């Protein structure tokens, strides 16, 4: 159930309403398979995709964990260039935290404590120092400010800085009564049509930035399933790390997990309840809410069922990613369950794009993107 009062949307979450979901319930009935090709070029080889952004016909792949770089591909999967300036001096970074592409500029949140700017070809423009250690960030073109999320256990969760790095304001002061955990939070900021939301793991609220303040705008009401924050704080203080991890798996209660996307149609993210994950789907246009089981039935090409997309591309496009070799193994396993006649019909029919992509990418350790379009 969805209710609205004084500009605040409250979503009642009831696990009795959980159902199975199909791709065509939420997406157009087609999947585009796109291999990000490496072609024996080591600079094009992707370690892990932490974030994927599409902008003006290009795909920007963020690999902070292994390659510490941002790789640039065209929409045919051809590698173009990468940002890789590892070092301790000017125009270099020791670590990458996050990036955003806006107004024909690649903004990079980097360490030690800086924001760097590059053009769309990956060429360095300039940089400026900041006084906070950021984990994720968002550049708001309306206020012309950068909003930097530090980490869970800080005096203030979010700080704003201008283009000179000057600290403008802090938001979300620490609260000893709220359990914050140590979730990495790869996604904290979700775009809205003219604004943006901030949220984090274990919260039940998405805050929209308006007129210099973050205000509650979407609240998940978990009822009796909600997390007992005081109990979690108490248990964490009494247990070592491994003990608390085991305890929390079955005693966390329900909480928001900011893995997902927001576009003009949906806010599609995840909810966790005592170790079990669900897909949370808020239809912004129709003001309706659904909660479905984590794996979504692929009724488009029946290749395999998979988790909900987490990468927002352009317009109404979203994506998930699988390594080429993994996709090939899935195709082989599917073939083994079918007769020769059924396999031939599938390969020439609804499974054509999937099979072509899987066999084309079978020796590739790079990723194949499965691109979907949300329903209008």
For 67-89, write each residue's pLDDT tens digit: 899 999 999 999 999 999 988 88
Q: How many residues does the chain have?
A: 376
Q: How confident is the model at residue 11 (pLDDT cuts 50, 70, 90)?
A: very high
pLDDT digits (tens, 9 = 90+) for 94-107: 999 999 999 999 99
Residue 70 and residue 80 in contact, taking contact as beta carbons nearer than 8 Å:
no
Q: How confident is the model at residue 151 (pLDDT cuts 50, 70, 90)?
A: confident
Q: Look up tokens 């203030």; give the residue.
A: 156
DSSP 245-307: HHHHHHH--EEEEEEEEE-SSEEEEEEEETTEEEEEEEETTTTEEEEEESSBB--SS-S--BP
Predicted local distance difference test score (pLDDT) of residue 162: 97
The closest of 220, 215, 159 to 192, measured between CA atoms, is 215
Q: What is the pLDDT of residue 184?
A: 66
Question: Between these two residues, 257 and 216, which has the higher pLDDT value?
Answer: 216
187: number of Cβ within 10 Å: 23
Mean pLDDT estimate for the chain: 93
Going by DSSP bridges, is the β-strand pair 205-210/196-198 parallel, antiparallel, or unpaired? antiparallel
Q: Residue 107: how many CA atoms within 13 Å on its side-chain side?
A: 19
What is residue 150's predicted lDDT score, i.e. its pLDDT?
87
Is 101 strand, coil or helix?
strand
Structure tokens at 372: 């979907």
pLDDT tens string 239-283: 998 999 889 888 889 988 888 999 999 999 999 898 899 999 999
pLDDT attached to residue 187? 84
Give the Cα separation of 305 and 256 in Å (integer): 23
User: pLDDT tens digits, residue range 319-368?
Assistant: 999 999 999 999 999 999 999 999 999 999 999 999 999 999 999 989 99
Q: For position 271, what pLDDT does the model report?
A: 92
Tell me what the mean pLDDT of segment 152-169 comes to.
Answer: 91
pTM across the whole model: 0.93
Average of pLDDT values for 287-305?
Answer: 96
CB 82 within 8 A of CB 66: no
What's residue 139's pLDDT?
A: 96
Q: Where are the domains of the chain?
A: 2-18+48-312
d(Cα 219, Cα 161) in Å, to the nearest integer? Answer: 27
Report the alpha-carbon distance of residue 113 to residue 126 in Å, rounded.
14
Q: Is the pLDDT of residue 55 over 90?
A: yes
194: burial class by Cβ within 10 Å (0-12, 13-18, 19+)?
exposed
Q: What local confidence, expressed as pLDDT, does residue 155 receive?
A: 81
Give the model's pLDDT for residue 176: 86
Write down the CATH number for the domain with range 2-18+48-312. Answer: 2.40.128.630
Specify the pLDDT at position 252. 87
In 176-253, DSSP assigns E strands to 189-191, 196-198, 205-210, 213-221
pLDDT for residue 167 is more than 70: yes
Alpha helices (H) along the chain: 229-238, 241-251, 324-336, 340-348, 352-360
Determine the 3-state secondary structure of 240 from DSSP. Answer: coil
């Amino acid at each position: 159930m969805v209710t609205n009062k004084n500009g605040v949307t409250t979503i009642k979450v009831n696990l009795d309403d959980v159902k199975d979901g199909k791709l065509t319930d939420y997406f157009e009935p087609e999947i585009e398979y796109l291999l990000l090709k490496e072609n024996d070029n080591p600079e094009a080889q992707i370690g892990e995709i932490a974030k994927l952004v599409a902008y003006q016909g290009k795909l920007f792949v963020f690999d902070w964990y292994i390659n510490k770089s941002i790789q640039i591909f065209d929409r045919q999967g051809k590698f173009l260039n990468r940002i890789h300036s590892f070092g301790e001096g000017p125009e270099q970074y020791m670590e990458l935290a996050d990036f955003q592409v806006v107004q024909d500029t690649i903004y990079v949140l980097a360490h030690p404590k800086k924001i760097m700017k590059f053009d769309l070809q990956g060429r360095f423009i300039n940089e400026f120092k900041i006084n906070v250690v950021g984990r994720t960030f968002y550049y708001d073109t309306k206020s012309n400010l950068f909003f930097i999320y530090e980490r869970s256990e800080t005096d203030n969760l979010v700080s704003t800085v201008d283009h000179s790095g000057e600290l403008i304001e802090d938001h979300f002061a620490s609260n000893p009564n709220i359990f914050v955990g140590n979730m990495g939070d790869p996604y904290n900021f979700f775009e809205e049509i003219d604004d943006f939301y901030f949220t984090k793991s274990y919260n039940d609220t998405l805050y929209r930035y308006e007129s210099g303040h973050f205000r509650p705008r979407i609240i998940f009401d978990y009822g009796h399933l909600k997390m007992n924050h005081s109990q979690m704080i108490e248990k964490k203080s009494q247990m070592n790390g491994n003990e608390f991890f085991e305890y929390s798996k079955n005693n966390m209660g329900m909480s928001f997990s900011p893995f997902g996307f927001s576009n003009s149609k949906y806010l599609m993210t995840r909810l966790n309840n005592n170790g079990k994950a669900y897909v949370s789907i808020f239809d912004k246009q129709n003001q309706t809410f659904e909660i479905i089981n984590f794996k979504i039935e692929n009724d488009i090409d029946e290749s395999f069922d998979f988790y909900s997309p987490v990468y927002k591309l352009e317009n109404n496009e979203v994506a998930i990613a699988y390594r080429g070799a993994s996709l090939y193994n899935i195709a082989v396993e599917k073939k083994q369950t079918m007769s020769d006649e059924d396999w031939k019909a599938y390969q020439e029919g609804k499974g054509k794009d999937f099979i072509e992509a899987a066999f084309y990418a079978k020796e590739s350790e790079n990723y194949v993107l499965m691109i979907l379009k949300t329903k209008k």
